[in-house]
Amino acid sequence: MNTVQAAQDAAREIAGVFAEAAAGAVAYPEPLGALVRGLVMRADPTGRDRKSNFIAFLLPSWIGERTGANPALCRDLAVGNVYAMLHFFLLDDVMDGGEAGLEDKRALAAGQLLHALFMERYGRHYAPDSPLWAYYRTYLAEWATAVSGEGLRRADPRDFRALARKSAPVKLGAAATLLSAGLQDQIADAEEAVEVALASLQLADDWADWRDDLPGEERSNAFLTLVRRESLALPEDQPLQERLVLQAIYRKGALEQLASILLGHGERLSALPNVAPGLVRFQQEIVAGILNDVQATRDTTDKLASGGGFSYFFIKNERIIGTNRLFVW
């Protein structure tokens, strides 16, 4: 399947998943039912540059294509993942101070309704005593550890497992699909593959958001850790200023260092057995986006150097924005 066809098929599947997810909320009373439907519609990446969302919603289908899973199962898991993603998003938002603009009580109430919808979708195929729920508890503990400890230590750009931990519930779709196929022995490899892809996603997200994170969330941004520790070798007690980050990007090769880590993720992913081709393509698209940014940075550097414009550039503190603005749960 060529890249264009794969993208078109993914867009159609995503549109169907979100339409079904929105329809599933109609049973809830107003105004919470409208709130849940609105959250589903706002999260729909169809027709927007939000391709990063696709891993949560297409992972069951990607693995199902390899295992011969029933498409109805994959669709239910994908719809369930929409509800789960929004449930965790609302919890994260309340913990972060309500940046999404929702009052805490309404956000938490809607989050519980979303969790119930998630459980109903998965419960169609997995009984309460299914081994799947042990995996879910493990992933939930990983997520809780990550969000409760965020900012207490610097995000490590080279620790792919730690980078993926905040999105650990994404792995449930892989475990569920493999359990249904009787392939529980492949879950550990699938978990690692998803973690590698999620780590690539998180690094690209941190690159896109570095300017927003710099004032108060530097420790949570793995790209800024890379800049501080590897590109600039700044001591911990020295403030990391925007001008220094720009110098690291344009003069110290910080973005090339980031690309090298992502290319290493790709090599690790390719070496794992039974990896779904869709997951490989997903990670490769992330790498391609970063490599495009690397080239754009080099082009800008060459133009500034040939025109003697570096001093003016850093004095004026011009804005650089990565092209990979992402959304993860």
Nearest by Cα to 246 from 224, 263, 222, 217: 224
CA atoms of 81 and 63, how far apart (whole Å): 15
pLDDT of residue 321: 43
Mean pLDDT of 86-106: 85
CB 179 within 8 A of CB 227: no
Rg (CA), the chain: 21
> Can you tell me the distance from the alpha carbon of 30 to that of 26, in angstroms, rounded to the nearest whole number?
9
152-210 pLDDT per residue, tens: 999 999 999 999 999 999 999 999 999 999 999 999 999 999 999 999 999 999 999 99
Of residues 36, 18, 198, the one with CA closest to residue 113: 36
| The token pair that represents 174 in the structure block | 């892989």
* Exposure class string for 117-130: b at 16+ Cβ within 10 A, else e: bbbebbeebbeeeb
Which of 178, 181, 207 has its CA nearest to residue 291?
207
pTM of full prediction above 0.85:
yes
CA distance 305 to 53: 38
